[in-house]
Amino acid sequence: MMSNVKYVGVSKLVHVLFAERINNIFVDYQKLKQGIWYHRKFGFDQQEIKCECFYKYKGKIFLLRGKPDDIYVDKGKLIISELKTCRSEQLRDVMGLMGWLQANIYAYILSRGEKLETIVNSYVYNPYKDDEPKLYLSKKADYRLADWTIRRGLDVILQDEENKEQVLKAIRKKLLK
């Protein structure tokens, strides 16, 4: 049963939708380490909280999994926050939206079956400009938008897999000539 389940990270679902806009962000391991350091510096490092659920789409079963940067309950509402670091002001809006969509998917996963009142926040931090993360967007969770985002992300991932398979077939065909 588990062999036909495909694992997909929540952050990947969102990143594939913005791939052309953010291609130059994830350049090297040093920047990744810096991002982790900033998350810890500002308290966005909820490593013990894991969100996952099975999601059936187009006849396939996916295990959606990830860890929100911050999650807590305040006055009976679940609060989920994501922090995105960027080194360019031109990418602030893209990164802020990505963070909000990612937090929205975590809300969707955590509320499967019962629609919890959830607020999702997106923070953006530019280490060259900001002293601390800036709130980009704070809104009530939108479960329909989260479901739509999951489906569009899976569409891109499935299309990439199909394209890779077509390229491999073409290579095999040329090699066997």
* Residues 144, 171: Cα–Cα separation, whole Å: 41
Residue 132 · residue 126 · CB < 8 Å: no
CA dihedral 99, 105, 108, 112 (to 10 degrees): -150
Name 122's bridge partners: 82, 137
Evaluate if residue 23 carries a pLDDT over 70: no
Q: Which of 24-33, 88-97, 139-148, 157-166 has the highest mean pLDDT?
A: 139-148
* pLDDT > 70: percent of the chain: 87
Tell me what the mean pLDDT of segment 74-94 comes to: 85
101 pLDDT band, cuts 50/70/90, is very high
CA distances from 10 to 74, 128, 166, 168 (A): 24, 27, 26, 27
As a CATH number, domain 2-175 is 3.90.320
Q: How many C-alpha atoms does 126 have within 13 Å on its Cβ side? A: 14
HEC secondary structure over 85-118? ECCCHHHHHHHHHHHHHHHHHHHHHHCCCCCCCE
57 pLDDT band, cuts 50/70/90, is very high
The one-character DSSP state at 127 is T
pLDDT tens digits for range 135-175? 999 999 999 999 999 999 999 888 888 877 787 777 777 77
Tell me what the mean pLDDT of segment 50-57 comes to: 92
Evaluate if residue 28 carries a pLDDT over 70: no
